[in-house]
Amino acid sequence: MRLHIVPARTGIRWVRLGLTTFARQPFGFMSLFFFFIVLASIALMVPIAGGMLVLMTVPAMTLALMIAAAQSCGPEKPLWTSVFITALRALRKDARPLIMLGVAYAVCSLAVVAIPVLTIDDSVFISNYLQGQPVPQEIAQNGYFQIALVISMLLSVLLSLAFWHAPGLVHWHGVTPLKSVFFSIVACFRNFGAFTVFGIVWFGIFIMAGIVLSLVEKMLVDLQVMSQATGVLTIGGILVMTAMFSSSLWFTFRDSFEAG
């Protein structure tokens, strides 16, 4: 396995390939995505450990969608059932390293939140950030809260980079979970330009999609359609956009590593 350095413009290509692949097999991607949404909903019912279990599924979901993209971008269009079954079989085959990655991801995710809480201002951060409560203006302007928020955001970005390629490295190159995290960080930083362009383009797509959804929701309200319909439209749009984004992850991995 060798790291492949790509030019910054490759980020645009990754986005284009992801959108094209999703459009080619949308039901296959959405079936996998909703499968993990259902798993997460069930996991949340588990007392105390529910949130931890949900976080543990992230590497497996990432790999499943990468496998779906790898199948769907081939010369022949596979059946959505084939995409779904093949992805789940691969997860079963790599169950042990994926569980290890899942545990590591869950622990690190908790640490991302816990470090600012424990080192800066626990009362403010816990009551207004962890519980998802609206943050009063006086607290939002508090220097401690702002520092905690910045630290949490930076750690979240680093965590995403660490696990970006890790599931793919475990599956396609047989790399151990620990080494896969290290190689993932290295690959993301070495291809920083391409990933920056990739992120900017996707950010723009999400913004445009949000504007379109807002206009459609306004139209539905003007037509006096039930308010519940607008909520379903918003949630559905977010889920579809997330699945579309996930379909492009395979191409970032494929172009960053080559057999050697």
- Other CB atoms within a 10 A radius of the CB of residue 131 amount to 8
Residue that wins the pLDDT comparison between 214 and 168? 168
Q: What is the pLDDT of residues 8-60, one digit of tens each?
A: 999 999 999 999 999 888 888 888 888 999 998 898 888 878 888 999 999 99
What would the two tokens of residue 226 be? 């039930």
pLDDT score of 149: 75
Report the pLDDT value the prediction gives residue 111, as an integer from 0 to 100.
85
Q: Structurally, how many domains does the chain consist of?
A: 1
| CA of residue 90 relative to chain centroid, distance | 19
The yes-or-no verdict on residue 249 having pLDDT over 80 is yes
Helix (H) or strand (E) holding 182: helix 177-190
Q: Which residues span the domain enclosing 55? A: 2-258
Question: What percent of the chain is predicted at pLDDT more than 90?
Answer: 44
Q: What is the pLDDT of residue 82?
A: 85
Return the minimum-mean-pLDDT range out of 31-45, 86-100, 118-132, 147-161.
118-132
Burial class from Cβ neighbours inside 10 Å (0-12, 13-18, 19+) for residue 206 reads: middle
What's the pLDDT at 210? 86
Predicted local distance difference test score (pLDDT) of residue 133: 58
Could you give the C-alpha distances from 125 to 134, 141, 145, 217, in angstroms and in order? Answer: 12, 13, 7, 34
CA 125 – CA 243 distance, rounded (Å): 31
DSSP string, 3-72: E----TTHHHHHHHHHHHHHHHSHHHHHHHHHHHHHHHHHHTTSTTTHHHHHHHTHHHHHHHHHHHHHHH
- Residue 1 is predicted with a pLDDT of 75
Q: Which residues contact 115 (CB under 8 A, 6 or more apart)?
A: 151, 152, 155
Q: pTM of the full predicted structure?
A: 0.85
**Arithmetic mean of pLDDT, 90-101:** 93
pLDDT, tens digit (0-9, with 9 covering 90-100), for 183-199: 999 999 999 999 999 99
